[in-house]
Amino acid sequence: MNQINQTNETNQRTVLVAVSDVFFYTKVRDALLPHGYRLERARTQEEVPQKAGALHPAAIILNMNDESLDAFRALEQIKGDASLKTIPVLAFANHEEVETWKRAKELGVTKIVSRNEFSSRTRELVEELLKGYGR
């Protein structure tokens, strides 16, 4: 029984980070690891639904401007899968890219913020997201 509780707790504190940029991944790591979160990194669009399905993380972070990761396709796959669509998704994008923000919202992203806000409030944003989803 204790093992099951530990597994559930781990997943409740696990965040799937779909960010190939080292700068942003380091920001996430530095903001979340000291507060007991466990991170799993996805470097390609294909890894996002695969790792989300295996881990069922508490949240997913997506860089909508990532050039080596098709965040829109990953979002379509997550939100199109009945077992994954309830996982909250925190996305960040360049604040000037109105179409990116609009499309991300249409595809079901839970919250999207500017790159600057993400960098300065990473932990707070993740915690707000998790509170909103009762996790």
Per the structure block, which two tokens stand in for 96? 């000037």
User: Which strand (E) or helix (H) includes residue 80?
Assistant: helix 71-80
Give residue 111's domain range. 2-126
Indicate whether 132 belongs to any domain. no
CB count in 10 Å sphere of residue 101: 19
The CATH number given to whatever domain includes residue 94 is 3.40.50.2300
CB count in 10 Å sphere of residue 13: 18
Q: What is the pLDDT of residue 12?
A: 77
CB count in 10 Å sphere of residue 99: 8
- pLDDT tens readout for residues 49-108: 999 999 999 999 999 999 889 999 999 999 999 999 999 999 999 999 999 999 999 999
What is the number of structural domains in the chain? 1
Tell whether the model's pLDDT for residue 134 goes beyond 60: no
- pLDDT tens readout for residues 19-64: 988 888 999 999 999 999 999 999 988 999 999 999 999 999 999 9
